[in-house]
Amino acid sequence: KQNRSDKPKQPPRLDETIPFVSNLWQFMTNKRLFITRARAALEIHPVIRCRLGPLDLHLLRGGNGNNNNISNGSNNSNSNGSNHGPPLFRATCHSDPWTLRIMRSAGYTPRDLAKLARDDSGAAATPRPGVAGGAGGAGGPDRIWHALHRLYDSALASARATDAFADRFQAALHAELVAPCPGPGPGHGGEAGEWTEGVRIFDTLKRTMTAAATHAALGPLMAEVNPGFVDAFWAYECHVEGLAFGLPDWLNREAVRARARFSDMCRRWYEVAEPRFEWDASGDGAEEWEPVFGSRLSSGLARWARRFGFEADSMGPVFMLLHFGLHANTIPVCTWVVMELLKDPELFQAVREEISQAELVRDGPDATFKGFDHRKLGSLPLLQSVYTEVLRLHVGVLITRTCTAPLTVGGYTLPKGSILQAPTEVGHLSEAVWSTQEHPASEFWAHRHVKETETRDEMTGQVSKRLKFSLAGRSGSFFPFGGGTGMCPGRNFAKPEVLLAVAMIVSSFEVDDVTWLKPDGSLSDRAAQNDVNYANSVAAAPDREMRVRWRRVR
Ligand code: HEM
């Protein structure tokens, strides 16, 4: 209702039975339900208020109907993500306090956290208006956020970094999954031509992709120094969201133990790598990969921490979060793609045929397989559609920002300093945006993002049909990588990693005998769904494992 006083009109509040208690309790204990209720309220109102403990939040709707098709200047407008979305993607909204919260929960020391908290100049090249830009002014020595984001731009989001990562990842995954190697170690795919029974898809991808992506991004030392790091990572990974936004540590002992174990491994690795590294070689112009820290992203992060005088106790957490960013979403996303293909033999065959177009040309008919061109893979329409559909259905997160200037949304003016959250699910699951008569938005439909086009050959008159990938008109309702200044800088690593792993499995294995297993290993009578424990954790893990038998066909 319009308020008659001079006070600005306030958005409605999210209902709760016990004021100040019920919503907070639900957020901490059943985030899935909290987000479902918020989604329902946002179907009616473009913005709602909600108090969670000390925080007064504004929940916003994404989507095309919200007058919010705002460009964020990112170079990303294809299936990697979207450069449109909710108003919180504007340049005046930032995510530093939330990133700090994640860093604190990972174990950065109070002194190093204080350095980050002191710098309110933001991540952009120009310091925020009215802010000195740290003690050093614009581009000055104290602009710690800007330095981090510059590193992300050059060593994570750039084409050069992506190509180097994709090549290393592909070679390492081939060694893990396909290369014949008797005895323990690589070769999870088994001997060529022989059936391997009881292959667990999620488990196999966790082992092989974690090892390969770690090799490509952090070099070979992590596996040498910490042989059990893959298991330790996944034991920690399932607790990260809860550690940052859920129960306090003293109620969360198992999570605290898992974090300490993996953080110690990262610190040990750093202590082995640090004295071996050539610190004098130049940073930005350095080679994309060297055998100590691995990629320029990893050595750049070490340089960033050194430049700002980080304490030894922060180094485990710094690299633990790099592992988290690298593995926690790509591997479940890849698993969902593989599961969808294996559930549908016709789709599997269609994708296999499409993928063959991206195989690198061999030196001769009998020459060995050389791998895939990751750029070509990323442009294949059906594969892109499947990838997009998986991101749409299995990525769920409350994108969070603080606004540094008043923001007008849906007729309400939210004051400077307001905390804004946009649940990706409101856009991703919108029936109005995604559904067709045969395929509701809640359903996986591999062809949702492709159109068939016909072209006529002018010489022969022959008509050929082609698929074309398109998100046209819907990109404002699709933001699995967030948007604006806080948009995921790893999105360009994620796509080739997922598609290369899918291509390698689809082209190298014959698969049958699909069954589903419950977490205790017993048979399940249904396929996997999003694990409710991963609500708001970006990519959800599957709550059922897929078991198959497979044999390597090359
Ligand atoms: C399918 C895979 C991935 C998904 C769905 C995903 C999603 C996201 C989302 C939703 C955010 C928050 C964005 C926002 O607030 O607007 C984010 C941030 C981030 N992601 Fe990713 N991500 C993926 C892969 C990766 C990879 C491979 C890396 C590589 C290390 C990575 C590194 C990061 C980092 C460093 C941030 C924080 C950026 C900042 O501090 O502003 N991500 N990601």
pLDDT tens per residue, range 437-455: 999 999 999 999 999 888 8
| Dist. CA 485 → ligand 1 center (Å) | 12
pLDDT of the residue at 70: 28
User: Residue 76's pLDDT is what?
Assistant: 33
H-run or E-run covering 253: helix 253-273
Q: How confident is the model at residue 363 (pLDDT cuts 50, 70, 90)?
A: confident
Where is pLDDT greater, at 51 or 380?
Answer: 380
* pLDDT tens digits along 150-207: 999 999 999 999 999 999 999 999 999 876 554 555 567 777 788 999 999 999 999 9
- pLDDT surpasses 90 at 490: yes
| Per-residue pLDDT at 390 exceeds 80 | yes
Ligand 1, atom 20: closest residue by C-alpha: 488
Mean pLDDT over the full length of the chain: 87
Q: Which of 95, 481, 495, 502 to mutate to test the pocket of ligand 1 (most atoms within 8 A of CB)?
A: 481
For residues 364-374, give the mean pLDDT.
Answer: 82
* Mean pLDDT across 354-378: 87
**pLDDT (0 to 100) of residue 186:** 56
Q: Is the CB of 330 under 6 A from ligand 1?
A: yes
Q: Report which ligand 1 atom has the smallest distance to the Cα of 484.
A: 16
Mean pLDDT of 231-258: 88
Predicted confidence (pLDDT) per residue in 534-545, tens digit: 888 899 999 999
For 289-322, the pLDDT digits (tens) are 999 999 999 999 999 999 999 999 999 999 999 9
Going by pLDDT thresholds of 50, 70 and 90, the confidence category of residue 133 is low
**Does the C-beta of 481 come closer than 6 Å to ligand 1?**
yes
Ligand 1 atom nearest to CA at 297: 30
Does 329 contact ligand 1 (Cβ within 6 A)? yes
Query: Pocket of ligand 1, candidates 214, 240, 295, 488: which has the most ligand atoms within 8 Å of its Cβ, to mutate?
Result: 488
What distance in angstroms lies between residue 234's CA and the mean position of ligand 1's atoms? 18
- Give yes or no for residue 82 CB within 6 A of ligand 1: no
Kindly state if the Cβ of 134 falls inside 6 Å of ligand 1: no
Q: What is the pLDDT of residue 141?
A: 65
**Is the C-beta atom of 483 inside 6 A of ligand 1?**
yes
Residues 25-83 pLDDT 10s: 888 788 888 888 988 898 888 899 998 877 889 998 864 433 333 222 233 333 333 34
SS (H, E, C) 373-440: CHHHHCCCHHHHHHHHHHHHHHEECEEEEEECCCEEECCEEECCCCEEEEEHHHHHCCHHHHCCCCCC
Place of tokens 């002194």: 111
How much of the chain is helix, strand and coil, in % rounded to 5?
Answer: 45, 15, 40
- Compare 285 and 157 and report the one with higher pLDDT: 157
Is 157's C-beta closer than 6 angstroms to any atom of ligand 1? no
pLDDT of residue 285: 57
Cα 280 to middle of ligand 1, angstroms: 30
Cβ of 144 less than 6 Å from ligand 1: no
What was the pLDDT predicted at 68? 33
How far from each other are the two terminal CA atoms of the chain, in whole angstroms?
68
Alpha carbon nearest to ligand 1 atom 25, residue: 490
Contacts of 237 (CB under 8 A, 6+ apart): 324, 327, 328
Under the banding of pLDDT at 50, 70 and 90, the label for residue 282 is low
* Residue in the block written with tokens 């340049």: 91
> For 94-109, what is each residue's pLDDT tens digit?
888 889 999 999 999 9
CB-CB neighbours of 458 under 10 Å: 7
Ligand 1 atom having least distance to the Cα of 401: 15
Q: Percent of the chain having pLDDT more than 90?
A: 59
pLDDT per residue as tens digits for the range 199-213: 999 999 999 999 999
* Ligand 1 center to 188 CA (angstroms): 28
| Torsional sign, CA 42, 45, 46, 49 | negative
What pLDDT, on a 0 to 100 scale, did the predictor assign at position 248? 79
Position 424 scores a pLDDT of 92
Q: Measured from the CB, is residue 74 less than 6 Å from ligand 1? A: no
* 324 Cα to the center of ligand 1, angstroms: 9
Mean pLDDT calculated for residue range 137-161: 86
